[in-house]
A = this chain, B = another copy of it.
Amino acid sequence: MYTLSEENYLKSIYRLSQQPNFKITPTAIAESLKNNPASVVDMIRKLTDKQLIEYDKKKGVKLTPVGLKDAVLIVRRHRLWEVFLLEKLGYHWDEIHDIAEELEHISDASLADRLDKFLGFPEYDPHGDPIPKANGKVPKPYSVTLADLKTGDTCRVAAVKDTSSSFLQYLQKLDIGIGTNIKLLEKIPYDNSLVISISGKESTTVSQKFGENILVD
């Protein structure tokens, strides 16, 4: 159906489209794929010809209904494989993303659905991201971040925005995972650093960037 590259572009565009009010430019796509804007311009032409995206200079890139449907199916496969790797093969949550990045491209009509069933129809992947359903419906993702809370608020970690191993390993070190309870003790006005209590334990200070990459419930 699609080449590996086409699928990676579709997925990248989909991910960028999740950021509200964000204009999806060639540069943004290039950054997200760690490649060159010139290459992106080529692929934009190709995907436009295939009617998977529309490109308006003013509005940026937008997925067509067909492009969206297929992008969502790739995301579905990615997240299902992540669940498999963690739950069945015993990988840690900082190791699974790159492998799923390859597995998501395996094309077989019934593979995702069989995997879904085998895994017991999980709702969320190991990073807390919602797993699109077979019909293409995507459960609403979490949207409030730790950095959005007010002093004194308590929350449950629901998902992580950043899935890089450096971030995930840091979380591991802090004993934070999906489900961990966090209380915001103080917000440092100077640089918006956050003083938090993890699982009721003594306080720790984390950066604003850190807080913005944790989605809470």
Contacts from A to B (Cβ < 8 Å): 88-91, 98-99, 102-103, 105-108, 111, 114-115, 118
Contact A107 B102 (CB under 8 A): yes
**Contact (Cβ within 8 A) B102 A118:** no
- Judge whether B99 and A114 touch: CB under 8 Å: no
Contact of A106 among B91, B99, B118 (CB under 8 A): B99
Expressed in whole angstroms, the Cα–Cα distance for A43 and B114 within the complex equals 37
B118 lies within 8 A of A108 (CB):
no
Bound together, the chains give a CA A115 to CA B88 distance in angstroms of 9
Q: What's the dominant secondary structure at chain A's contact region?
A: helix
5 shortest interchain CB distances as A-B pairs: A89-B114, A99-B108, A102-B106, A88-B118, A89-B118
Chain B residues with CB below 8 A from A105, complex form: 102
Beyond A99-B111, A103-B103, list 13 extra A-B contacts (CB 8 Å). Answer: A88-B118, A89-B111, A89-B114, A89-B115, A89-B118, A90-B114, A91-B114, A99-B106, A99-B108, A102-B105, A102-B106, A102-B107, A103-B106
Separation in Å of the A152 CB from the closest CB of chain B? 44
What are 9 A-B residue pairs whose CB atoms fall within 8 Å in the complex? A88-B118, A89-B111, A90-B114, A99-B106, A99-B111, A102-B105, A102-B106, A102-B107, A103-B103
| Shortest beta-carbon distance from A88 to chain B in Å | 6
Q: Which residue of B lies closest to A115 (CB)?
A: B89
Q: Bound state CA distance, A111 and B89, in angstroms? A: 8
Distance of A111 Cα from B90 Cα, bound (Å): 10
CA distance A49 to B106 in the complex (A): 30
